[in-house]
Amino acid sequence: MKRLCFAVLFVFAAGTALGQQYPNKTILMLVPYAAGGPTDTVARVVAQSMTKPLGQNVVVENKPSAGGILAPEQVKNSKPDGYTILIHHVGMATTPALYRQLRFNPLTDFDYIGLINDVPMTLIARPTFPAKDFREFLAYVKANKDKVNYANAGIGAASHLCGMLFMSAIQTDLQTIPYKGTGPAMNDLLGGQVDFMCDQTTNTTSQIKSGKVKVYGVTSAKRVPSLPDIPTLQEQGLKGFEVGIWHGLYAPKGTPKPVIDRLVAALQETVKDESVKKRFADLGATTYPPEMATPKALQAHLKAEIDKWTPLIKKAGVYAD
Ligand code: ASP
């Protein structure tokens, strides 16, 4: 009994010491998509803000791949010491249904840190797209379905999910052009090489406000306060059409609890930070309150999102190998 107490005490003391030592070097935050895109934008705001409470730099590293499936695998295989963490969006919940051979399991290969924010999406087109509103857009797309294409960030990306639901809602199949992130896709859209895309407001707000792209609607059930003049797709007749993106922060499975606790505390400081909340609000995103920036809240949300999207994706019959 005495020995057991000693062992428990030892583990507790070691854990506390670890929590006090951590972090003593730069922390890497892996982003599953290209630099300059919406996930990257959110990552950079969060990383910069977490640097202060952690007392060490949090550096964003882009590990882009179509569908964003490489970064989670890399984080899964990283040392669980709190120095490599992952930021990801709804793709953590959709890829298990979309990929037959996914090399990570969102529900068993990670420790959870917490939820960050919710981000709506927008339906946008190249500046020269020949439609002035959603009604014209729909008519043009249907009449020209063999030549209209849309950009996305690969199967499993939010832009893919939105495009898939959109095609199903308008009962029209279109050609998709995959990128390793909607940052590069946006460049091609601005240059007129692709016709349209559905992307997070964190990537589209400034292009919409400066009139550099055409916009046909937001994907949320209600209008977005930072883009009050843009009607929802529901308002314009797409009944029940709603796609929302959320971001969370993850660590490899087996990360010591005192290390996770430090990361959670830093994330909670970040979501309380008025300048972070304002930056996100200006980009159309809603920051979660600190009580949702917790492992429990992220785990529950991820599970609920997997349960929500899996049947819808199975019904749509979309797969990647
Ligand atoms: N917006 C992209 C997506 O479709 C990801 C990105 O480039 O950040 O998921």
Residue 312, pLDDT score? 87
Distance of CA 39 from the midpoint of ligand 1 (Å):
6
Helix (H, G, I), strand (E, B) or coil at 221: coil
Which pLDDT belongs to residue 205?
Answer: 98
Per-residue pLDDT tens digits for 139-167: 999 999 999 999 999 998 999 999 999 99
Residue 317: which pLDDT band, with cuts at 50, 70 and 90? confident
Look at 107-111, 169-173, 210-214, 257-261 and tell me which has the smallest mean pLDDT.
169-173
pLDDT of residue 7: 52
> What distance in angstroms lies between residue 10's CA and the mean position of ligand 1's atoms?
45
The three state secondary structure string of 294-320 is: CHHHHHHHHHHHHHHHHHHHHHHCCCE
- Name the residue of 161, 198, 200, 309 to mutate for ligand 1: max ligand atoms within 8 A of Cβ: 200
Nearest CA to ligand 1 atom 7: 181
Atom of ligand 1 nearest to the CA of 203: 1
Grade residue 17 by pLDDT with cuts at 50, 70 and 90.
low
DSSP state of 232: B
Quick check: 321 pLDDT over 80?
no
Confidence check: pLDDT of 68 > 60: yes
Closest ligand 1 atom to the C-alpha of 156? 9
pLDDT at 300: 98
Taking the centre of ligand 1 as the mean of its atom positions, its distance from the CA of residue 153, in whole angstroms, is 6
Reduced to 3 states, what is the DSSP secondary structure of residue 259?
Answer: helix
What does the mean pLDDT of the chain come to?
A: 94
CA of 246 to the centre of ligand 1 (A): 12
Task: Write down the pLDDT at residue 224.
Answer: 98
**Rounded distance from Cα 62 to ligand 1 centre (Å):** 12
pLDDT of residue 1 exceeding 70, the answer is: no
Q: Which residue has the higher pLDDT, 272 or 10?
A: 272
Summarised one tens digit per residue, pLDDT across range 30-64 is 999 999 999 999 999 999 999 999 999 999 999 99
Stretch among 2-16, 225-239, 292-306 having the lowest mean pLDDT: 2-16
Quick check: CB of 181 below 6 Å from ligand 1? Answer: yes
Q: Is the dihedral of CA 131, 136, 138, 142 positive or negative?
A: negative
Ligand 1 atom index nearest CA of 154: 4
Q: How many A from CA of 229 to the centre of ligand 1?
A: 24
Q: In which band, very low, low, confident or very high, does the pLDDT at 13 lie, cut at 50, 70 and 90?
A: low
